[in-house]
Amino acid sequence: MTSLLGGLTPQNFLTRHWHKTPLLARAAIPGFLGFLTPAEIKTLATRADVQSRLVIRTGKRFEMRHGPFRPIDFKSLPDRDWTVLVQELNHWVPDGADLLNQFNFAPHARLDDLMVSYAVPGGGVGPHFDSYDVFLLQGFGERRWSIAKTRDLELIPNSDLKILKRFKPQSTWDLDAGDLLYLPPQYAHDGVALSECFTYSIGFRAPTHQEWVDNFLDYLRDSLVVKGRYADPDLALQSHPAELSDQLLKKIRDIMQSVRWNDADIRSCVGRNLSEPKNHIFFEPPEKPLTKARFMAKAYEKGLRLNPRSRLLFRGNLLFINGEEILFKGETRRILIQLANNSQLSAGGNLAAAADLLYAWYLEGWLN
Ligand code: SIN
Ligand code: CO
C-alpha cells in the first residue's frame, strides 16, 4: 500500500494530495504491466455493450470516433498518433475489478470506473482537464505526462473532444510500467505515448452542485405526499381579474413552505442515487439458476463476488444496492457490510442470516 502512494500512508495522501495537488509515485505497483494485450483491447472495442473511443491525431488536431468498431477499423490505422480507450474495464475483466480494490482507501461513493487506453507512439487524447480525481497508472510501455495548474481552461470550440485551446506544461514526467500519477480535478494534462503503451485510469467523480440538487428534486417529487387543495373562501374582489393577486401568491407560498425534508431524506436520496448504475448498464440473470440450497452451498465452498457492475453502499441501518434501499440489521448487516467493503465474501463463512437477500441478488444477476 505504501508504494502505491509513493511512501505515503493513505491518511497522509488524503491530507496532502487528495483533491488538492498532484502526486507522482514511481514504481507504485512494482512489476505492473497491466493485464490486456493490444488484441484484447481492440476486441473489447468491437463489442456493442462496451463503451469505446478512438482518437486520431493529425498534428495538433484530434479526431474522435465512437465504438463499437469493426476489426478492420484498426487494420487501416497508421503506425503512429492514435489511441483507443475503453471505459468500465472493471466490468469486463476480473483483474480490473481487483485493481480497483487497491484504491479502497477512497470511498466507493466517489468511484466512477477504471478506464484503459492503448496508444501507439505519438498517440493521446490531447491536452485537457477532467472534473474527476484520477489516478493514471502506467501499464506496459512509456507515456510522457505534462501537467499544469491553470485557470485558463478555455476549450477549442466545436469539437467533440474537450481540448484546451492553450496548454503550457509546468511539469513533465515520463512514466514507465507501474508508475502512477494522481491528478486532482481541473488540472490540465496531456499524455503522449512515447512507445506503444497502456494507461489505466482510476476515476473518482465529483458531481456538480446542480446535479445534486436535480437528484434531490427528483427524489422529493417521488417521495413527497402533500395533502390539501387550493381553497379561497376568503376571496377578495379584484379590480383586474387577469392579475395574480397577493392573496393567491401567498397561499401558494405557504404550501411551498410546508414542504419539509430532513437528514433521512438526504441519506436516502444520496444512497439511492450513488448506488444507481448508469443508464447503459444491464444485469443478466443466471440462465439456469441454482436452487437456493445449491447457491448457498456453493457460496460456502467458493465464496461470493459482487458483480462489478453492482454498486453497494450503506449508512447506518440502510443498505443501498443498485438504486434500491433496504433496511438491514444484526448478523445480516455484518455480512453485507463485508460484501460492500470488499466486493466479495470469502469461502467458509456462515452466510445464513443474509441468505434471502444474497439469493435474491443472485437471481437478479447482481452477484456472481
Ligand atoms: C489516456 O489514457 O490517454 C487519457 C487518460 C486521461 O487523461 O484521463
Ligand atoms: Co484526463
Decide if 249 is inside a domain.
Answer: no
Specify whether 213 is located in the same domain as 181: no
Specify whether 49 is located in the same domain as 110: yes
Specify whether 168 is located in the same domain as 187: yes
Q: Report pLDDT for 368.
A: 84
Specify whether 285 is located in the same domain as 179: no
Q: What is the pLDDT of residues 327-364, one digit of tens each?
A: 999 999 999 999 999 999 999 999 999 999 999 999 99
Cell of 80: 503512429
**Chain centre distance of CA 61:** 28
How confident is the model over 155-180, as a mean pLDDT? 94
Specify whether 30 is located in the same domain as 176: yes
CATH number for 102: 2.60.120.650
Specify whether 65 is located in the same domain as 92: yes
Least confident of 155-169, 196-210, 213-227: 155-169
Decide if 250 is inside a domain.
Answer: no
CB of 87 sitting under 6 A from ligand 1: no
Q: What is the pLDDT of residues 16-40, one digit of tens each?
A: 999 999 999 999 999 999 999 999 9
Measured by CA distance, the residue closest to atom 5 of ligand 1 is: 201
CB of 332 sitting under 6 A from ligand 1: no
Decide if 2 is inside a domain.
Answer: no
Decide if 244 is inside a domain.
Answer: no
Q: Report pLDDT for 2.
A: 67
Decide if 34 is inside a domain.
Answer: yes
Specify whether 211 is located in the same domain as 154: no
> DSSP string of 315-355?
ETTEEEETTEEEE--HHHHHHHHHHHHHSEE-TT---GGGH
Measured by CA distance, the residue closest to atom 6 of ligand 1 is: 201
**Chain centre distance of CA 338:** 21
Mean pLDDT over all residues of the chain?
Answer: 96
Q: Which of 204, 229, 249 is the last residue of a domain?
A: 204
Q: In ligand 1, which atom is closest to the CA atom of 130? A: 8
Q: Is the pLDDT of residue 315 over 70?
A: yes
Specify whether 161 is located in the same domain as 95: yes
CATH number for 296: 3.40.366.30
Measured by CA distance, the residue closest to atom 3 of ligand 1 is: 124
Q: Is the pLDDT of residue 60 over 60?
A: yes
Q: Is the pLDDT of residue 253 over 80?
A: yes
Decide if 74 is inside a domain.
Answer: yes
Decide if 24 is inside a domain.
Answer: yes
Give the count of domains, the chain: 2
Share of residues in the chain with pLDDT > 70 (%):
99
Specify whether 66 is located in the same domain as 195: yes
CB of 191 sitting under 6 A from ligand 1: yes
Q: What is the pLDDT of residues 303-313, one digit of tens each?
A: 999 999 999 99
Q: Is the pLDDT of residue 159 over 90?
A: no
CB of 275 sitting under 6 A from ligand 1: no
Query: How many residues are given for the chain?
Result: 368
How confident is the model over 179-183, as a mean pLDDT? 98
How confident is the model over 217-227, as a mean pLDDT? 95
Domain hosting 63: range is 10-204
146-154: long-range contacts, CB 8 A cutoff, minimum separation 24 = 146/171, 146/172, 146/189, 146/190, 146/192, 147/22, 147/171, 147/172, 147/181, 147/183, 147/187, 147/188, 147/189, 147/190, 148/187, 148/188, 148/189, 149/187, 149/188, 150/188, 153/129, 153/186, 153/188
CB of 199 sitting under 6 A from ligand 1: yes
Specify whether 49 is located in the same domain as 159: yes
Specify whether 167 is located in the same domain as 18: yes
Q: Is the pLDDT of residue 293 over 70?
A: yes
Specify whether 18 is located in the same domain as 104: yes
Q: Is the pLDDT of residue 1 over 60?
A: no
SS3 309: coil
